[in-house]
Amino acid sequence: MRKLIFFMHTSLDGFVAGTNGEMDWINLDDSLFDFVGSMTEQADAALYGRVTYEMMQAYWPTAAEQPDASKHDIEHGNWYNNVAKIVLSKTISGAGLTNTTVIGDQLSEHINRLKQQEGQNILIFGSPGASQSLLNLGLIDEFWLFVNPIILGQGLPLFDHVTGTTKLKLIETKSFDCNVIAIHYGKP
């Protein structure tokens, strides 16, 4: 069975973006990019909310072709262009989108069907609103939270509209030279 794995950067005080959506506070380095690359090697699908999908579509399809493309841009751009993309949205249609499926209703049914299919993991990069919906439905199997060494004080909360309790168990932690700590949780 495929796993639905959530990846998100967060501030120490639990915000995923500043008050105006800014994410310039996120620390990144080559070791973190290499780690994400090892995770994408185990995944053949990416799941996004509409806003994150539109942001990704604006950058990744041509990132690898840019003259100043980094190793990460080339590797992730190639991965992005080849994996199946799943978008949770009630406002866009899948018509004309390459290798992309849009899910607008019956979220549990659609996601559980995808998880039952043959294949590798499905990764959720960011997409806090979509992730909260998936969490509320109990559909996320694992969480990777990348805790950045900053206290924002305010912004977009990591888990703003979560209902109920979700018990998790610590699987592992990983630290990076850029002072980010990754915390990996799964279901007990």
Supply angle C-alpha 24, 88, 110, rounded to 5.
140
pLDDT of residue 94: 78
Which residue from 143, 155, 130, 117 is spatially nearest to 26, judged by alpha carbons? Answer: 155
162 in a domain, yes or no? no
Domain that holds residue 115: 46-120+131-146
The answer to whether the beta carbons of residues 161 and 123 sit under 8 Å apart is no
List phi, psi (to 5°) of 30. Answer: -60, -35
pLDDT of residue 126: 85
List phi, psi (to 5°) of 121. Answer: -65, 160
Please write the tens of the pLDDT for every residue from 32-87.
999 999 999 999 999 999 999 999 999 999 999 999 999 999 999 999 999 999 99
104 in a domain, yes or no? yes
87 in a domain, yes or no? yes
List phi, psi (to 5°) of 17. Answer: -160, 160
152 in a domain, yes or no? no
Show Cβ contacts of residue 118 under 8 Å, excluding neighbours closer than 6 positions.
none
40 in a domain, yes or no? no
52 in a domain, yes or no? yes
**Per the structure, how many domains does the chain have?**
1
pLDDT of residue 95: 81
And the tokens for 5? 């794995």
Please write the tens of the pLDDT for every residue from 99-147.
999 999 999 999 999 999 999 999 998 888 899 899 999 999 999 999 9
96 in a domain, yes or no? yes
